[in-house]
């Protein structure tokens, strides 16, 4: 390799290093789902509901960070509701949701490279529904936090028994 090619390769590795570091560490050390002490003793159905919801939440963030709208939509149930910025948006169908999501524009608008869960806590649970209080942080390409937001996610199974996020209420814009 010529010196110029070696410098170019080194620069690419240096620029990619933050994304390589976070993706590996998130996959190995995902945020643990906590269960509010106020919930009390859990039965088998509630324990299974929490396990299913935990899987969905981790896939949701991985899918979001992959910038794959179809994969991200697979973690949601439709119609899907998002309450934020003083408004309510209802996405009636998966295809509409996937078509409207532009990760490149979102990244540019927010100087965004990735997001991460800071806190996941089950605050209410039943056999067929789980409410999770979350805090997530957005990071820029230099891996500096740009904003953190508290939210409430409502998860439930669809008619086929597949769990997903039905609604999100967020303080994020």
Q: Is residue 106 domain-shared with residue 157, that is, in the same domain?
A: yes
Q: Is the predicted pLDDT of residue 89 greater than 80, yes or no?
A: yes
**What is the dihedral sign for C-alpha 108, 109, 115, 118?**
positive
User: What's residue 166's pLDDT?
Assistant: 98
pLDDT, residue 53, reads: 98
5 or 114, which is more confident: 114
For range 81-105, the mean pLDDT: 95
Within 8 A by CB and 6+ apart from 75, the residues are 56, 59, 60, 63, 164, 165
Higher pLDDT, 19 or 123: 123
- Structural domain range at position 119: 31-170
**Cα 33 → chain centroid:** 13
Q: What is the pLDDT of residue 31?
A: 87
Predicted confidence at residue 51, as pLDDT, reads: 97
- Give per-residue pLDDT as tens, 15-44: 333 333 344 334 444 789 999 999 999 999
Residue 5 and residue 53 share a domain: no
Indicate whether 75 and 97 sit together in one domain.
Answer: yes
User: What's the total number of domains in the chain?
Assistant: 2
Is there a single domain that holds both residue 15 and residue 4? yes
Whether residue 114 sits in one domain with residue 160: yes
Query: Would you state the pLDDT for residue 173?
Result: 82
Cα torsion through 84, 87, 92, 96, rounded to 10: -70
Are 171 and 138 in contact by the 8 Å Cβ rule? The answer is no
Mean pLDDT of the chain: 86
Residues 6+ apart with CB under 8 A from 72: 60, 63, 64, 66, 101
Confidence of residue 85 (pLDDT cuts 50, 70, 90): confident
- One domain for residues 87 and 46: yes
Q: Same domain, yes or no, for 118 and 154?
A: yes
Q: For residue 44, count CB atoms less than 10 angstroms from its CB and return exposed for 0-12, middle for 13-18, buried for 19 or more.
A: exposed
Could you tell me if 50 and 26 lie in one domain? no
Are 17 and 60 in the same domain? Answer: no
pLDDT band per the 50, 70, 90 thresholds, residue 81: very high
Where residue 152 sits, what CATH number does that domain have?
A: 3.10.450.50
């Amino acid at each position: 390799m010529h010196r110029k090619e070696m410098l170019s390769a080194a620069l690419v590795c240096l620029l990619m290093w933050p994304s390589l570091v976070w993706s590996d560490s998130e996959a190995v050390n995902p945020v643990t789902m906590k269960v509010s002490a106020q919930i009390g003793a859990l039965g088998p159905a509630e324990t299974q509901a929490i396990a299913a919801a935990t899987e969905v939440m981790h896939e949701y963030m991985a899918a979001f960070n992959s910038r794959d709208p179809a994969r991200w939509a697979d973690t949601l149930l439709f119609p899907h509701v998002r309450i934020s910025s003083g408004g309510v948006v209802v996405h009636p169908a998966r295809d509409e949701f996937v078509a409207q999501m532009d990760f490149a524009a979102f990244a540019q608008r927010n100087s965004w490279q990735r997001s991460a869960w800071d806190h996941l806590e089950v605050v209410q649970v039943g056999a067929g529904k789980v409410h999770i209080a979350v805090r997530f942080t957005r990071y820029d390409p230099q891996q500096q936090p740009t904003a953190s937001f508290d939210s409430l996610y409502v998860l439930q199974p669809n008619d086929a028994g597949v769990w997903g996020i039905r609604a999100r209420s967020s303080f994020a814009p």
